[in-house]
Amino acid sequence: MDAIKLSGVNFSYARGVKLDYVLSGIDLAVEAGQFLSFVGPTGCGKSTLLHLIAGLSQPSSGQLDLFGRVCAGVNTDCGYLFQSDSLLPWRTALENVTLGLEIRGVEKRSATELGMVWLDRVQLKNHHHKFPHELSGGMRKRVALAQTLITNPKILLMDEPFSALDVQTRSSMENLLLDLWSADRKTVIFVTHDIEEAISLSDRVIVLSAGPSSHPIAEFPVLLPRPRDVFEVRLAPEFLTIQREIWAKLKQEVEKTNARLM
């Protein structure tokens, strides 16, 4: 059974006769435990795709199934790591991590215990009492990661989560993500601009066409062995081959986008 299945999904913000599709004709199946990345030019509807899978937006037509069940509302099986800050500024790091448990009615003491375990996993145990504005950008991302994973979602949706971080912080976040992921291999949909990031993390990379009416145009399996280290994996000759192939596809789309925006 596929974890995620999109059949003939179209999406448009407008309603009416003349529809201007953001996404059109998306057919996609993702098996459970797969780490899938989407790359595509700016404005190709990558975030919209994640919103659809999370059930935060509904497709204009087509169907979404998660684990064989047709979805209509918000999918609480999904954890979502947003591009920008999603931490609540009035809650401490620990309180932010336990937010999902509190909302689900978990008793305070066991929520706090589990929260500390997760803060330890993202190496922030000693910062549990700090408010978000007292943490660095990388620390805030790690809190957000713990916050997303603590409720044990079956599917993890990530929308360019590390794009605002500097290169070193970013690589260590990527390694941390791979570490945490390898523990129970959730299904991951990862959206990024960055081909290298996509390859080094994923089992499968899909290239989206330039918008509007964006859709998948090519896909590449990534067979590099795991566990991987995102620094080292980039030196493998296979890595460079895939990177070249993906860029050849993506380049045309980027040029189309640029031509449209100029």
Residues that bind other proteins (CB under 8 A): 54, 56, 74-76, 78-80, 82, 84-86, 88-92, 99-100, 102-104, 131, 133-134, 151
What is the spatial distance between Cα 2 and Cα 202, in angstroms, rounded to a whole number?
A: 17
Rounded to 5°, the CA angle 67-31-197 comes to 125
Give the count of beta carbons closer than 10 Å to the beta carbon of residue 179.
Answer: 12
Please state the closest distance from residue 238 (CB atom) to other proteins, in A: 36
Which residue number, 85 or 196, has a Cβ lying nearer to other proteins?
A: 85
Angle at 87 between CA 100 and CA 116, to 5 degrees: 55
Nearest Cα to Cα of residue 80 among 3, 189, 156: 156
Output the smallest distance, CB 116 to other proteins, in A. Answer: 19
Name which of 100, 98, 180, 171 is nearest 138 in CA terms: 171
Which of residues 56 and 254 has its CB atom nearest to other proteins in the complex?
A: 56
Number of other CB atoms surrounding residue 245 within 10 Å: 15
The smaller minimum CB distance to other proteins, of residues 153 and 216, is found at 153
Q: How many helices (H) and strands (E) does the chain have?
A: 8, 10
The least distance separating other proteins from the CB of residue 231, rounded to whole angstroms, comes to 31
Q: How far is the CB of 192 from other proteins (least distance, A)?
A: 18
Smaller CB separation from other proteins, 89 or 237 = 89
Residue 97 or 201 having the CB closest to other proteins: 97
Q: Are strands 69-70 and 216-221 parallel, antiparallel or unpaired?
A: unpaired
